Structure 1
Amino acid sequence: MPPVTELAPPQDGACQGGINLADAMTAGEAEIARVMQICNACRYCEGFCAVFPAMTRRLEFNAADTHYLANLCHNCGSCLYACQYAPPHEFAVNVPQAMAKVRVRTYQDYAWPRAFGKLYEKAGLTVAFALSGGLALFMILAIAMNGRLIHEPLKGNFYAIFPHNFMALLFGSVFGFSILALMIGVIKFWREVSPTKDGTPADIKAAAQARVPAVAEAVHDVARLKYLGGGHGDGCNEGDDAFTLWRRRFHQFTLYGFLLCFASTCVATLYHYIWKLQAPYAYTSAPVILGTLGGIGLIIGPVGLLWLNFKRDALRADVKQNAMDRGFIMLLLLVSVTGLLLLVLRDTRFMALWLAIHLGTVMALFVTLPYGKFAHGIFRSAALLKFNIEKRMPNRLGLGGE
């Protein structure tokens, strides 16, 4: 462990490695560069998560490095509570908070179209309710104009309210745009942080050889949510320095609930177009079972994440992002709750009303996907892929890491 006198406390416009960070980077990027250089001298947290092995491959940190590390950080809090230089120490090393502030900026900077990046600052709780409520009202009015808001039971036939082709075209177009916007954003991010950017021919060759195993490991890390296990596998620190695995579990409920709902839609599409089976489908059918399980997961996970969000230690968070976080969580909850209620009420006179409400919340979710908290999973997956490629490449510094 180096003596404290070898490190430097934060200063405005601090000069690191001969570069004036205040001139070369934004304040948030400069703060990550500052704390990473202190962490590089200490190394106490080197085995905690992917951030610190990635850090050891660098002596200086440019803007692209800070974007990469910010998205690699899972905000588990282990390093903050273990750090001897954390606040109130004069060095004020707070890795999770520094990473969180830059992480949301990367979503804005890489957003497509670029002007829409500002929506990250506005995609909060109020916007979530206003947008879902407004779109649901639009759907309700569209149904009411045809005099079918309260109707005789239709045996769960949604297409008697909205034709199948209309819904497929409308929601397919919005979802397609959202996926396109996310893909363009993450490609821009990848080009900026690519492990072979400015690399030597040997680096490019090593990266190419590492690609397949790196992809497999990155998928495994994402599927397990490995780095939500905290520094020692005991979980994250929520509210205090006690470890808990609940953050990982609630994320898993949310992730797999979303994937099950997506799988339900895909299977229903196959039923309709390939096997010529028309909705409504029986409660024992694959689309309904998958959708029900997914909806339950999307209630348990978001409720738990919302609870943890309210009790999270503000010291390791960027409180300005709370509105965006809670807005996304509430949208997921609205989609799942209205979807399950629609399943229960589909054989009643109120099916059309609940269909309109559910479709409004789904449309709101799709519209905000590229410009809200959903993006963090996509960017974090890209950062994990870079990490798993990079650690298989030659470490020219020879300073540690995996």
Structure 2
Amino acid sequence: MQQLEALARDAVALANGGWASPIVLNAPEAEVARQMQICNACRYCEGFCAVFPAMTRRLEFGKADIHYLANLCHNCGACLHACQYAPPHEFAVNVPQAMAQVRVQTYVDYAWPPALGRLYQRNGLTLSLALAAGLALFLLLALALNGTLWGGGLQGNFYKLFPHNLLVGMFAPVFLWAVLALGLGVRRFWHDVTPATSGLPVTSPAAAEASGDVLRLKYLDGGHGDGCHNEDDAYTLSRRRAHHLTFYGFMLCFAATSLATVYHYAFGWSAPYDLPSLPKVLGAVGGVSLLLGTAGLFRLNLRRHPQHGDAAQKPMDLGFIALLFFTSLTGLALWLARATPALAALLAVHLGVVMALFATLPYGKFAHGIFRTASLLRHAVEKRQPNPVGLSAD
């Protein structure tokens, strides 16, 4: 034990002053590098997740490597609770918290256009809800001025208020902007974190492994299948299940919208659709799943262990969760109240929330899924390479 602590102290000294890289690290990045040097000396958590095997392949940690490792971390908390050097130890190793602080920095650094990266550092919950409320109010006023805010005569067909082509014209540019901004950002991230010595392409086995890790949320199992830590030391799979409900609920809703677009333009089958049509089945199941998942995430986020993650990012996390929750809630309410005079008002609120969600996608918590996928893909490629000379096998 004394030898290990001496080695860890040497690692601290190296992290504080032994940089070979000419790129200056900011304070959160330097803290991750310091902790990774200590972890590299210990390696007790090597089997917990992808972070630690990736860590053992390097002796020093430059900016790109730190960003890569930070986005590999799923913040499950297992390493914090297993670490003998965690606070209040003088080494103060808290990998989940240090990684979370760097993760949000990567979103800022790789945002496109760069000027909008600062939006990550604003009060995400207030910004998201204010934007949704503002857009909904604008639509409500428009309906009130033309006398269609409250009343019948629509027979459940909201396209009588907002024609299909008008909605496509409103939402398609915002959605395409979000895709473009995220795509350009993660493209630059991928370029920076690709090993300079590899030159290896992404192979089918690597892509398949990374896809499986993403779809199964493999690294939210706590490294042993029992799940993450939450408000105490107990393991729980609640976080993994809530993420699954949220992710697959969102994907089902997206599939329902995409299929409805195909129905409209390819087959001339005009909405509204109702059960048992496939778009409505996908939308209903996806909406309920998204509602349950986001409600679970909101509860878990508020009850997370105080040393997990970065408390300053809670507004950003909660803002994204709130937009997803109200997207599903207003969508389901719109369907259930389609034959009532409240249809127009509910439609305006739903469209406002969805527009706010699309507008903030590239500059909020949604980015974590995109950057984490890229990091998992890099890990799957990297692990298939021989270890650098002088390092032991994984």
Task: Note if contact 1:123-1:371 (Cα within 8 Å) is conserved in structure 2.
Answer: no
Q: Which residue in the other structure is 1:162 paired with? A: 162
- Cα distance in 1 for partners of 2:263, 2:361 equals 27
Runs of at least 5 residues in structure 1 that lack an aligned partner in the other structure:
none
Q: Is 1:244 the equivalent of 2:236?
A: yes
Task: Note if contact 1:153-1:348 (Cα within 8 Å) is conserved in structure 2.
Answer: no
SS in structure 2 of the partner of residue 176 of structure 1: helix
Q: Is 1:318 the equivalent of 2:310?
A: yes
- 1:10 is displaced (CA, Å) by 8.9
Q: Is 1:368 the equivalent of 2:369?
A: no
Q: Which residue in the other structure is 1:6 paired with? A: 7
Could you tell me which of 212, 220, 227 is aligned with 1:220?
Answer: 212
- Cα distance in 2 for partners of 1:151, 1:12 equals 72
Letter in 1 for 2:5: V
Could you tell me which of 269, 277, 280 is aligned with 1:277?
Answer: 269
Task: Note if contact 1:238-1:313 (Cα within 8 Å) is conserved in structure 2.
Answer: yes
Task: Note if contact 2:15-2:37 (Cα within 8 Å) is conserved in structure 1.
Answer: no
- Cα distance in 2 for partners of 1:127, 1:318 equals 19
- Taking only aligned residues, the RMSD between alpha carbons, in angstroms, comes to 1.8
Q: Which residue in the other structure is 1:357 paired with? A: 349
Task: Note if contact 1:80-1:94 (Cα within 8 Å) is conserved in structure 2.
Answer: yes
Task: Note if contact 2:136-2:348 (Cα within 8 Å) is conserved in structure 1.
Answer: yes
Q: Provide TM-score, normalisation by structure 1.
A: 0.94
Cα distance change, pair 62–309 in 1 and its aligned pair in 2 (3 A): same
- Cα distance in 1 for partners of 2:123, 2:320 equals 8
- Cα distance in 2 for partners of 1:376, 1:14 equals 27
Cα distance change, pair 12–136 in 1 and its aligned pair in 2 (3 A): farther
- 1:130 is displaced (CA, Å) by 0.8
- 1:13 is displaced (CA, Å) by 9.7
Task: Note if contact 2:75-2:100 (Cα within 8 Å) is conserved in structure 1.
Answer: yes
Cα distance change, pair 263–401 in 1 and its aligned pair in 2 (3 A): farther
Task: Note if contact 1:13-1:20 (Cα within 8 Å) is conserved in structure 2.
Answer: no
SS in structure 1 of the partner of residue 307 of structure 2: helix
- 1:401 is displaced (CA, Å) by 5.6
Task: Note if contact 1:338-1:357 (Cα within 8 Å) is conserved in structure 2.
Answer: yes
Task: Note if contact 1:16-1:34 (Cα within 8 Å) is conserved in structure 2.
Answer: no
- 1:9 is displaced (CA, Å) by 8.0
Q: Which residue in the other structure is 1:87 paired with? A: 87
- Cα distance in 1 for partners of 2:194, 2:93 equals 27
- Cα distance in 2 for partners of 1:220, 1:149 equals 47
- Cα distance in 2 for partners of 1:12, 1:365 equals 45
Task: Note if contact 1:74-1:228 (Cα within 8 Å) is conserved in structure 2.
Answer: yes
Runs of at least 5 residues in structure 2 that lack an aligned partner in the other structure:
none
The C-alpha deviation readout for 1:277-323, integer Å capped at 9, x for no partner, is 00111221111111111111111111111111111111122000001
Q: Which range is displaced more, 10-19 or 39-48?
A: 10-19
Q: Is 1:15 the equivalent of 2:16?
A: yes
- 1:56 is displaced (CA, Å) by 0.5
Could you tell me which of 338, 348, 355 is aligned with 1:346?
Answer: 338
Cα distance change, pair 355–9 in 1 and its aligned pair in 2 (3 A): farther
Task: Note if contact 2:4-2:42 (Cα within 8 Å) is conserved in structure 1.
Answer: no
Q: Is 1:78 the equivalent of 2:78?
A: yes
- 1:240 is displaced (CA, Å) by 1.4
Q: Which residue in the other structure is 1:181 paired with? A: 181
Could you tell me which of 264, 289, 294 is aligned with 2:286?
Answer: 294
The C-alpha deviation readout for 1:344-387, integer Å capped at 9, x for no partner, is 11122211111000000000000000000000000000000000
- Cα distance in 2 for partners of 1:132, 1:388 equals 39
- Cα distance in 2 for partners of 1:337, 1:277 equals 26
Task: Note if contact 1:57-1:398 (Cα within 8 Å) is conserved in structure 2.
Answer: no
Task: Note if contact 1:124-1:326 (Cα within 8 Å) is conserved in structure 2.
Answer: yes
Q: Which residue in the other structure is 1:334 paired with? A: 326
SS in structure 2 of the partner of residue 15 of structure 1: helix
Cα distance change, pair 171–12 in 1 and its aligned pair in 2 (3 A): farther
Q: Which range is displaced more, 104-113 or 275-284?
A: 275-284
The C-alpha deviation readout for 1:216-258, integer Å capped at 9, x for no partner, is 1111110100000112111001011111111000000000000
Task: Note if contact 1:120-1:372 (Cα within 8 Å) is conserved in structure 2.
Answer: yes
- Cα distance in 1 for partners of 2:332, 2:354 equals 13
Q: Which range is displaced more, 137-146 or 12-21?
A: 12-21
Could you tell me which of 372, 375, 392 is aligned with 2:384?
Answer: 392
Q: Which residue in the other structure is 1:190 paired with? A: 190
- 1:159 is displaced (CA, Å) by 1.0
Task: Note if contact 2:178-2:359 (Cα within 8 Å) is conserved in structure 1.
Answer: yes
- Cα distance in 1 for partners of 2:7, 2:152 equals 78
- Cα distance in 2 for partners of 1:271, 1:56 equals 51
